[in-house]
Amino acid sequence: MPIGVIANCLGIIIGGIAGSFIGPRLTESFKTNLNLVFGACAMTMGISSISLMKNMPAVILSVILGTVIGLIIHLGNLTQKMGMEMEKIISKIIPEQSKKDAEYQSVLVTAIVLFCASGTGIYGSITAGMTGDHSILLAKTVLDLATALIFACILGVVTCVIAVPQFIIFMVLFLLAGAIYPFCTETMICDFKACGGVLLVATGFRMMKVKEFPIADMIPAMVLVMPLSHLWVTYVLPFVS
């Protein structure tokens, strides 16, 4: 039973609905300051994950190569278009008052990546599918519920729809966990978490509006990090030592 996956998605939906109602009643200063706090929380989770890193060269190479691939295939633009299509569909059902400007689109992409492509969520889904331990996803649910509330203050009820692609991604990982997990060593998992931590730190900077990192374009790094970590440990380290 994918309890953690379901709970995580429900957290986003509940937070999105609550934020849609509370948002208009909050001052811009309140929303800005609270968003800074959640940006700091995302960075804290990222730094905590990065500290688990075992092979820095493999992780850094994954981030660089993954971002290059993302930029070449315009993954960020594709993600943004997907998000705007989601917004169009939901706005036909519930008219939105949010501005569909560059800032709105930037926030939408940030929310999609934060909820659907975080290292914590991906690893948590794999762990839950393989071992039945849902604690990682349940812990993520608490943060996602509060974060969804803040995002919904800007995006409106569109925030709830992000739970759909998240459910699909996490369920696929949950179901495939039995095939993936046996090939993962502890070192590979730590490097995977560290790579996800880099994306979370970048997400924190973006939430705090310090720097607009191309987070969506960085997602392929999550696919590359485990194979590169394995190659580094198996072939490179024995050679240099």
Is a pLDDT exceeding 80 seen at residue 83? no
- Mean pLDDT, residues 202-217 taken together: 84
Q: What distance in Å separates the CA atoms of residue 107 and residue 92, rounded to the nearest whole number?
A: 20
In this predicted structure, what is the pLDDT of residue 94?
60
Residue with tokens 């203050």: 153
State how far Cα 63 lies from the chain centre. Answer: 15
In 51-185, which residue ranges form alpha helices assigned H by DSSP?
Answer: 56-72, 75-93, 102-116, 119-131, 135-155, 158-161, 163-180
Query: At 98, is the secondary structure helix, strand, or coil?
Result: coil
- Cβ contacts of residue 132 below 8 Å, gap of 6+? none
Residue 90 — pLDDT band, cuts 50, 70, 90? low
Q: Model-level pTM?
A: 0.79
Vertex 159: Cα angle to 156 and 164 (nearest 5): 145
- Mean pLDDT, residues 89-96 taken together: 62
Q: What distance in Å separates the CA atoms of residue 162 and residue 83, rounded to the nearest whole number?
A: 8
- Cβ contacts of residue 228 below 8 Å, gap of 6+? 58, 61, 62, 65
